[in-house]
């Protein structure tokens, strides 16, 4: 945007509600603002996972508050937003929950307007509604409560008495929701009883609602302070007062999921991690993406020449054998860049290791002639025993770290395998400090390995990030490996493998993790 008077660029500020914690609960508009901004200004209650949607060059500014300290005063945050916008930047101010509900958005917007800075308020899902829902508590119910009041509890008793008319609030609605009031729960309960609420009125506190750390305690106005103290219950939490709390016994859905309370470290390449992460989330867990590998075309010019030469002899192959989805993707990428028509491989039959590899081929119109019962390269030959003939030529589009078992066995049977490295695997360059902090604080419950390279690279990445003894850091964490080859690599590296599925697939891995967690 250009100021017509000065000719200088003018920025804009989006005041965005991030939702209650689960990153998937952000609105479509809110996500658009994150993806397009030059600078994001965020606080503690906004999920760090949302930051992964930023442009690569976007600036991050943390202004979050903790109960015992403020990283930045609100007045300074207001001024920061103005200054960034006047520099011509598009700014997203990401706030937990909804920015208009105790989010002080009015103060921020007022100063922006004062300095003629364009802004937009993007509503979010408030924790006052979403957090109780994730604990199985609807804040209204046709038979129990037809209205709800949202009250701030983050004040001293004197300020609470000044800002809250207890005699009116107590009977104003069927359900009362207090935000940020854990430390004052005893005083809140006392005032509600004093002004006419029955002492046996149900109460629930939900901490870190919609997140993997979600925890819920229940009681009555008379008992809740003792319950909170006994549970050593800490903020942030939402307090729900009213008969709707009793619905939790029937409607508690989130905390009953098989992976609820489980944080899973996903070490696959970021481009491949979404499938595994989605399955973890579906079962109530939280994926912590920590990609330790990246794939790319080989950097060595000789590899380029080898691929070009091998693909140039397309008509000569009797078999195309793929051992991974990456192999399929890069194979077709090479065909496109070299202007080679797939129809030139008309003589070749197609074999694949694993159902995902077969699906990747079928999406491109190639039906698989052979798929082993066990999803490993070692078992592919057994399934092809009657079809392989000495003298046949086999093209193996693979990665640079592929095992030598398959080409060695093909040669032993008299066939002529042609191996080409259509991609190479390298250590991921960008790492997430949040994931490392979760590991250090013991907040990771399972580490997943989908290949041998993820095992070796994780240990190396941790060393590069300053962890002197990575094996010590992973003690007490469940190690889940997708197949026996990966499991052997993990064991040889000094890790204790606790989870290994019978089927070497992502679905098999997830099922094995869920079974292991439920057995505890």
Residue 62 has pLDDT above 60, yes or no: yes
Name the strand (E) or helix (H) holding 257.
Answer: none
pLDDT score for 487? 96
For every residue of 447-475, DSSP letters joined together read: EEESSHHHHHHHHHHHHHTT-S-HHHHTT
Evaluate whether 124 touches 18 at the Cβ level (below 8 Å).
yes
Residue 228 has pLDDT above 50, yes or no: yes
How buried is residue 275: exposed, middle or buried, by Cβ count under 10 Å (0-12/13-18/19+)?
middle
Residue 460 has pLDDT above 90, yes or no: yes
3-state secondary structure of 371: coil
pLDDT band at 6; cut points 50, 70, 90:
very low
Catalytic residue among 22, 89, 98, 180: 180
pLDDT band at 439; cut points 50, 70, 90:
very high
**Range of lowest pLDDT (97-101, 274-278, 293-297):** 274-278
Evaluate whether 82 touches 67 at the Cβ level (below 8 Å).
no
Residue 216 has pLDDT above 60, yes or no: yes
User: In angstroms, rounded to a whole number, what is the distance separating the alpha carbons of residues 230 and 174?
Assistant: 28
Residue 66 has pLDDT above 80, yes or no: no
Question: Mean pLDDT across the stretch 140-162?
Answer: 81
Q: 65 catalytic, yes or no?
A: yes
More confident residue, 168 or 66: 168
Question: Mean pLDDT across the stretch 71-85?
Answer: 90
Residue 134 has pLDDT above 90, yes or no: yes
Q: Tokens at residue 146, please?
A: 């037809």
Catalytic residue among 22, 38, 43, 421: 43
pLDDT score for 383? 79
Q: How many CB atoms lie within 10 A of CB 442?
A: 11
Catalytic residue among 65, 257, 374, 413: 65
pLDDT band at 373; cut points 50, 70, 90:
low
Report DSSP state, residue 341.
Answer: -
Residue 205 has pLDDT above 70, yes or no: yes
Strands (E), 82-232: 90-95, 118-122, 148-152, 175-179, 202-207, 215-220
User: In angstroms, rounded to a whole number, what is the distance separating the alpha carbons of residues 77 and 108?
Assistant: 8
For every residue of 276-335, DSSP letters joined together read: HHHHHHHTT-EEEE---EEEE--SSHHHHHHHHHHHTTGGG-SEEEE-SHHHHHHHHHHH
Quick: pLDDT tens for 82-108. 999 999 999 999 999 999 998 889 999
pLDDT band at 382; cut points 50, 70, 90:
confident
Please, which residues have CB within 8 angstroms of residue 165's CB and are 6 or more apart in sequence?
none
User: Strand 416-427 to strand 293-296: parallel, antiparallel, or no bridges (unpaired)?
Assistant: antiparallel
More confident residue, 436 or 271: 436
pLDDT score for 482? 92
Question: Mean pLDDT across the stretch 444-463?
Answer: 95
Rounded mean pLDDT of the chain?
91
pLDDT band at 157; cut points 50, 70, 90:
low
Residues paired with 178 in a beta bridge: 151, 239
pLDDT score for 377? 59
pLDDT score for 429? 81
- Whole-model pTM? 0.82
More confident residue, 46 or 39: 39
Evaluate whether 343 touches 365 at the Cβ level (below 8 Å).
no
Q: Is the peptide bond prior to 236 cis by the omega test (within 30 degrees of 0)?
A: yes
pLDDT score for 520? 76
pLDDT score for 254? 96
pLDDT band at 73; cut points 50, 70, 90:
confident
Please identify which residue in the block is written with the tokens 């099922």.
Answer: 511
Please, which residues have CB within 8 angstroms of residue 84's CB and are 6 or more apart in sequence?
11, 13, 39, 41, 91
């Amino acid at each position: 945007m250009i100021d017509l008077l000065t000719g200088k660029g003018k920025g804009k500020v989006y005041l965005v509600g991030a939702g209650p914690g689960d990153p998937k609960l952000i609105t479509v508009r809110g996500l658009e603002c994150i993806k397009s901004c030059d600078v994001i200004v965020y606080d503690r209650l906004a999920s760090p996972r949302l930051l992964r949607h930023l442009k690569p060059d976007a600036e991050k500014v943390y202004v979050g508050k903790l109960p015992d300290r403020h990283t930045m005063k609100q007045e300074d945050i207001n001024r920061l937003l103005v200054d960034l916008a006047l520099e011509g930047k598009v700014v997203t101010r990401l706030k937990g929950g909804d920015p208009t509900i105790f989010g002080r958005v009015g103060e921020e917007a007022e100063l922006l307007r004062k300095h003629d800075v364009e802004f937009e308020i993007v509503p979010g899902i408030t924790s006052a509604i979403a957090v109780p829902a994730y604990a199985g508590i609807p804040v209204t119910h046709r038979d129990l409560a037809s209205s709800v009041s949202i009250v701030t509890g983050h004040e001293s008793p004197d300020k609470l008495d000044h800002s809250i008319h207890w005699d009116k609030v107590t009977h104003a609605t069927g359900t009362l929701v207090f935000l940020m009031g854990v430390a004052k729960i005893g005083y809140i309960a006392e005032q509600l009883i004093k002004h006419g609420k029955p002492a046996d009125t149900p109460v629930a506190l939900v901490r870190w609602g919609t997140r993997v750390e979600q925890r819920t305690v229940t009681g009555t106005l008379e008992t809740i302070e003792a319950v909170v103290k006994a549970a050593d219950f800490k903020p942030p939490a939402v307090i729900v007062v009213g008969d709707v709390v009793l619905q939790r016994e029937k409607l508690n859905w989130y905390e009953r999921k098989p992976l609820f309370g489980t944080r899973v470290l996903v070490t696959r390449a970021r481009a491949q991690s979404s499938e595994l992460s989605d399955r973890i989330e579906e079962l109530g867990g939280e994926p912590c993406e920590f990609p330790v590998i990246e794939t790319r075309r080989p950097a060595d010019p000789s590899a380029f020449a080898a691929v070009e030469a091998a693909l140039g002899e397309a008509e000569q192959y009797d078999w195309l054998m793929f051992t991974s989805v990456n192999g399929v993707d890069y194979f077709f990428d090479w065909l496109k860049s070299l202007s080679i028509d797939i129809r030139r491989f008309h003589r070749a039959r197609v074999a694949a290791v694993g159902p995902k590899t077969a699906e990747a081929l079928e999406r491109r119109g190639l039906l698989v002639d052979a798929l082993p019962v066990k999803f490993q390269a070692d078992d592919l030959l057994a399934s092809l025993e009657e079809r392989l003939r000495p003298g046949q030529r086999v093209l193996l589009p693979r990665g640079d770290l592929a095992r030598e078992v398959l080409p060695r066995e093909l040669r032993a049977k008299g066939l002529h395998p042609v191996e080409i490295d259509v991609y190479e695997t390298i250590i991921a360059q960008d790492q997430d400090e949040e994931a490392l902090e979760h590991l250090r604080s013991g907040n990771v419950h399972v580490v997943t390995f989908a290949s041998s390279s993820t095992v070796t690279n994780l240990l190396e990445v941790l060393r590069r990030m300053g962890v002197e003894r990575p094996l010590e850091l992973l003690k007490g964490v469940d190690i889940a490996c997708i197949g026996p080859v990966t499991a052997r690599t993990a064991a040889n590296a000094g890790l204790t493998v606790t989870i290994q599925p019978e089927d070497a697939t992502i679905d098999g891995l997830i099922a094995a993790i869920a079974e292991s967690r439920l057995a505890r």
